[in-house]
Amino acid sequence: MTKNTPEKIVSLSKIKMACQSCSLYQLCLPLGLHGEDLERLEDIIKRSHPLKKGATPFHQGDKFEAIYAIRSGSVKTYTIADDGSEQITGFHLPGELVGLDAISEDNHPCTAKALETTSYCEIPFHQLEDLSGELPSLRHQLLKIMSKEITHDANLLMLLGKKTADERLASLLLSLSSRLSNRGFSATEFNLSMSRNDIANYLGLAVETVSRLFTRFQDQGLVKVDGKFVQILKNDDLKAMISECVQSDPKMA
Amino acid sequence: MTKNTPEKIVSLSKIKMACQSCSLYQLCLPLGLHGEDLERLEDIIKRSHPLKKGATPFHQGDKFEAIYAIRSGSVKTYTIADDGSEQITGFHLPGELVGLDAISEDNHPCTAKALETTSYCEIPFHQLEDLSGELPSLRHQLLKIMSKEITHDANLLMLLGKKTADERLASLLLSLSSRLSNRGFSATEFNLSMSRNDIANYLGLAVETVSRLFTRFQDQGLVKVDGKFVQILKNDDLKAMISECVQSDPKMA
DNA sequence: CTCATTTATTGATTTAGATCAATACAATTA
DNA sequence: TAATTGTATTGATCTAAATCAATAAATGAG
């Protein structure tokens, strides 16, 4: 792929994105668009070379030019504070959009890094914004995706603010499981593309704690873990973990 | 004001919102709109009666109809998990929009509650969405505000995931201070409209811890606290607290 | 005003998870 | 292949913050 630039033997018309034929259509930006409208969106979308593991499509502070839709692979986003400490703000799977947080300041508040070989579509934002003026369903879908991100973050806040280490890991595993299954992958077994360190960082825990949790979850028969390969054995028990837990404070709000 | 309903003696034309004359114009949705465009936005905005303390303009699960711009007072938003536990997702000050997280599912994922007497503008969302199709700067401002919320949440994540109790409280105080000062209030002294319990919940701490922190901050001469009234004495020291702290993990990402 | 109830502060004790430390296991590279 | 470096697991110890417990202020209702 990198050696003999085979793009040259592919007809130009094929290089153009075909969202219609993309398995992620219903999860991604073009949802709700058809016919000519969809073609207009496809016209502004650029497919780029796949990212190798560790590659960074954009860095914190970079001028905001485009948002990125993941086609395959996975990406983490993280911010680095003044003191150099890092906080991972998300793990992103195929069909998800990355970079929307850059609109506000017109530069990226976080860095994105491929956790494995990752292909993606690049959508120049100003063109998208203009086009969204003309296409109500594109406009709505964009707002919807952003709104979803806000909700997702709020859930994560709940996770970090209130939950125990067990519940945090259970939440992450269940989130990955359900998102992967929405994308046509197995809900019960998958490879974690991120390191234990990344998981710990994201969940606000120490690596050692994450490691111990995996061991314990396995001892409890909840999961089977072999390095990055995870099998969910008792989905319901994991779910129960994250809802039963926090004994409610009956008088509040 | 509350006794003799002076609204009745104000002409109907005045009841219509006048974003131009609103001190929050440059922080709020209409930023960038002028003349006829601004009037079109004002036409869809409804000013409602002020909320009394404890009133809830919308509840978790309510169908999504409108977003709310705070004019005066303050509001907290929170979600209630299945187990009844509550997580406060934000404190909202004048000029801020509440309810944008409802777009994604078409119903509100959180409840909003007035922390004090609070006046607000109600903006029916579908009309706003339509109008944003015609007005590029409105469209952009809406995306910008949503994007800002995503960034804000990411920062909060950093706060809850990584920081110590001291840093959390310092962050909240500085955030309130700077937001209040942007809104024309004093940056150095203000009343907290939320309870210690709310603060604890929001910061993911126990009430007792928050209480002890206020005491210690005061002992250290960082602030002067009298119940809900807070004076920031050493802004710089507080700032230093939140950046020096977390000794970076040099090898990561 | 008094009484009741919520909200806040302070102290004593416990604990979940961090940190420190050592080892084991992978993955790269030469 | 061994050597190097990064990543993961496991154990021992420590500590920040939770929890438990009691009191003290506020707030609000009658």
Record: contact B153-A154, CB cut-off 8 A: yes
Q: Specify whether the CB–CB gap between B97 and B29 falls below 8 A.
A: yes
Q: Which of B88, B247, B244 is nearest to B160 (CA)?
A: B88
Say how many C-beta atoms besides its own lie within 10 A of residue A159's C-beta. Answer: 24
Intervals of CATH 2.60.120.10 along chain A = 18-156
- Res. B15 pLDDT band, cuts 50 70 90: low
SS3 state of residue B165: helix
Q: What's the DSSP call for residue A107?
A: B
Record: contact B150-A147, CB cut-off 8 A: no
Intervals of CATH 1.10.10.10 along chain A = 164-247
pLDDT of residue B242: 82
- Res. A12 pLDDT band, cuts 50 70 90: very low
Q: Crossing angle, helix B136-162 and helix B165-182, to 10 degrees?
A: 160
Q: How many Å apart are B164 CA and D27 C1'? A: 32
Q: Chain A within 8 Å of B206 (Cβ-Cβ)?
A: no
pLDDT of residue A247: 34
Q: What's the DSSP call for residue A49?
A: P
Q: Chain B within 8 Å of A206 (Cβ-Cβ)?
A: no
Chosen from B79, B104, B110, B203 to mutate, greatest number of chain A CBs within 10 A: B104
Q: Which residues contact B35 (CB under 8 A, 6 or more apart)?
A: none
pLDDT of residue A90: 93
Look up residue A236 and give its amino acid: D
> Is the pLDDT reported for residue A7 higher than 50?
no
> Is the pLDDT reported for residue B253 higher than 90?
no
Distance CA A229, CA B9 (A): 71
pLDDT of residue A157: 80
Distance CA A117, CA A176 (A): 18
pLDDT of residue A108: 97
Residues 194-233 of A with CB under 7 A from strand D: 195-197, 207-208, 210-212, 214-215, 225, 227-228
Closest to B133 (Cβ–Cβ): which among A133, A150, A245?
A133
Give residue for tokens 């309130």.
B176
Record: contact A130-B113, CB cut-off 8 A: no
Closest to A150 (Cβ–Cβ): which among B134, B140, B153?
B153
Q: Where are the beta strands (DSSP E) in chain A?
A: 46-47, 66-72, 75-80, 86-92, 97-98, 111-114, 119-124, 189-191, 223-226, 229-232
Distance CA A108, CA A88 (A): 14
> Is the pLDDT reported for residue A248 higher than 90?
no
User: Min CA distance, B62 vs chain A (Å)?
Assistant: 15
Q: What is the pLDDT of residues B104-127, one digit of tens each?
A: 999 999 999 999 999 999 999 999
Q: Which of strand C's nucleotides are less than 7 A from any protein C-beta?
A: 6-12, 16-21, 26-27
Residues 41-80 of A with CB under 7 A from strand D: none
Q: Specify whether the CB–CB gap between B153 and B102 falls below 8 A.
A: no
Domain at B18-156, CATH homologous superfamily: Jelly Rolls (2.60.120.10)
Distance CA A196, CA A106 (A): 32
What does pLDDT average to over chain B?
Answer: 88
> Is the pLDDT reported for residue B146 higher than 90?
yes
Closest chain A residue to B134 measured between Cα atoms? A133
Mean local confidence (pLDDT), A3-23: 60
Q: Specify whether the CB–CB gap between A89 and B156 falls below 8 A.
A: no
CA gyration radius, chain A: 20
CA dihedral of residues B184, B186, B187, B193 (deg, nearest 10): -100
Q: Chain B within 8 Å of A148 (Cβ-Cβ)?
A: yes
> Is the pLDDT reported for residue B188 higher than 50?
yes
Distance CA B136, CA B148 (A): 18
CB < 8 Å from B in window 104-133 of A: 104-105, 109-111, 113, 129-130, 132-133
Q: Chain A within 8 Å of B148 (Cβ-Cβ)?
A: yes
Distance CA B212, CA B226 (A): 13
Closest to A100 (Cβ–Cβ): which among B100, B104, B150?
B150
pLDDT of residue A47: 86
How many interface pairs between A and B have CB atoms less than 8 angstroms apart? 187
Question: In this predicted structure, which of A64-73, A161-170, A197-206, B143-152 has the lowest mean pLDDT?
Answer: A161-170
Q: Among A112-126, A150-164, B7-21, which range has the highest average pLDDT? A: A112-126
DSSP assignment of B14-74 equals HHS--GGG-TTGGGSTTTT--HHHHHHHHHH-EE-PPBPTT--SB-TTPBP-EEEEEEES-
User: Min CA distance, B212 vs chain A (Å)?
Assistant: 19
The answer to whether the C-beta of A7 is closer than 7 A to strand D is: no
Q: Which residues contact A251 (CB under 8 A, 6 or more apart)?
A: none
Q: Specify whether the CB–CB gap between A53 and A114 falls below 8 A.
A: yes
Q: Specify whether the CB–CB gap between A204 and A160 falls below 8 A.
A: yes
pLDDT-above-90 percentage for chain B:
74
Task: Kindly indicate whether the domain formed by A164-247 is annotated with CATH number 1.10.10.10.
Answer: yes
pLDDT of residue B156: 81
Q: What is the pLDDT of residues B161-186, one digit of tens each?
A: 778 999 999 999 999 999 999 999 99
Q: What is the pLDDT of residues B33-71, one digit of tens each?
A: 999 999 999 999 998 889 999 999 999 999 999 999 999
A153: which 2 tokens?
């973050």
Q: Chain A within 8 Å of B54 (Cβ-Cβ)?
A: no
Q: Chain A within 8 Å of B204 (Cβ-Cβ)?
A: yes
Q: What is the pLDDT of residues A86-138, one digit of tens each?
A: 889 999 999 999 999 999 999 999 999 999 999 999 999 999 999 999 999 99
Q: What is the pLDDT of residues A189-246, one digit of tens each?
A: 999 999 999 999 999 999 999 999 999 999 999 999 999 999 999 999 999 888 654 3
Q: What is the pLDDT of residues B70-81, one digit of tens each?
A: 999 999 999 988
pLDDT of residue A251: 30
Q: Crossing angle, helix B165-182 and helix B235-244, to 10 degrees?
A: 130
Q: What is the pLDDT of residues A25-76, one digit of tens each?
A: 988 999 999 999 999 999 999 988 899 999 999 999 999 999 999 999 999 9
Mean local confidence (pLDDT), A140-153: 94
Which pTM was predicted? 0.87
Distance CA A217, CA A223 (A): 6
A101: which 2 tokens?
């947080």
- Element holding A197 (H helix, E strand): helix A196-203
SS3 state of residue A150: helix
Burial of A94 (0-12, 13-18, 19+ CB in 10 A): buried
Q: Crossing angle, helix B136-162 and helix A125-134, to 10 degrees?
A: 130
User: Nearest residue to nucleotide D20 when comparing alpha carbons to its C1'?
Assistant: B208
pLDDT of residue A16: 60
Distance CA A54, CA B214 (A): 43
Record: contact A243-B81, CB cut-off 8 A: yes
